[in-house]
Amino acid sequence: MSFFRNTVWFIKGLKEYTKGGYTSASKDFKASDLDVDITGRSYMITGANSGIGKCTALAIAKKGGTVHMVCRDPKRGAEARQAVEEESQNQNVKLHILDISKPRDVARFAQNFISSGKPLNVLINNAGCMVNTRTVSSEDGLERNFSTNTLGVHMLTSAMIPLLSKQEKSRVIMVTSGGMLVQKLNGSDLQFEKMNPFDGTMAYAQNKRQQVVMTENYAKMYPNIHFSSMHPGWADTPAVRSSMPDFYEKMKTRLRTAEEGADTLVWLALSESVHTFDSGLFFQDRKPVSTHLPLAWTRSTKEEETTFMEKLDSISQQFLVESPDS
């Protein structure tokens, strides 16, 4: 089954996820969808210092929105913020330093942002990682891929729900990956202790499946907020070059640009037409698509998803209680 999933997925990817797939899909895009004035609306983007996150920050800044760039590295974050401000000529571009893999820091950051009184209309969960060697933090005992891609995202999103709920037409967007199509939700091994040998690519794909399940469940839990997840396709970004060097070398002539990868993310963040779609859907090239491959047996039960979400809440609570600012 694993071989079948991977083969079907790769064939699908060659057709849809490449630059050629984007060129074909973009023929149906409506330019008017992005003809918007978002002055006064506030957008938070994690992992905003490079690649898709930076492209999205720039696109939003050019449209007049207030942009909160959340970055892990202070130097790279400051350089990115300055570049976005200068190119967009928008003075409302803010930098926040946060390593989303550290749950205590996520809790403090969220509390401090809420206490500042700043509004938030759209949260874009873009930050992520693919660590190819199983790495457990000595500080909190969490495996790095899980703490970054799943737990940190859940903690930030959950903390921002009250703030987002105060705004009309608020949105949360999850930048996930088509790689999740080869994975069924596995809520019993969140930190990959049973994965032998450890495979960073499959761990990442599992995290991305988890993000899709999280998005679907958030949509049911918070009907006043519009949730969506999206796949940027195979794009040429610093993260792809560093985390998947072999894939990059084989596919580099067929990869989308970072701007093309960011297109659907920008559309989900800005377009009014997004609200014509149900909350909780998974998007690719501005269209909702299936979250499962045919005959791949990757669907999870309601009970499995409920248990998974409860586990995330339970782990999160440990760090919320321990946070000095809580």
Report the catalytic residues: 204
Q: How far apart are the first and last CA of the chain?
A: 46
Maximum alpha-carbon separation in the chain: 52
Contacting residues for 314 by C-beta, under 8 A, at least 6 apart: none
| CB burial of residue 85 (10 Å; 0-12, 13-18, 19+) | buried
Q: Which two tokens stand for residue 137?
A: 């933090």
The residue whose two tokens read 């609570």 is 317
CA atoms within 13 A on the CB side of 19: 10
Residue type, 302: K
Label each residue of 104-131 as H, E or C: HHHHHHHHHHHHCCCCCCEEEECCCCCC
Q: Are 204 and 18 in contact (CB under 8 A)?
A: no
- Which strand ranges, in their side-by-side order, compose the sheet holding 122-125? 93-97, 66-71, 42-46, 122-125, 171-175, 226-231, 281-284, 287-288
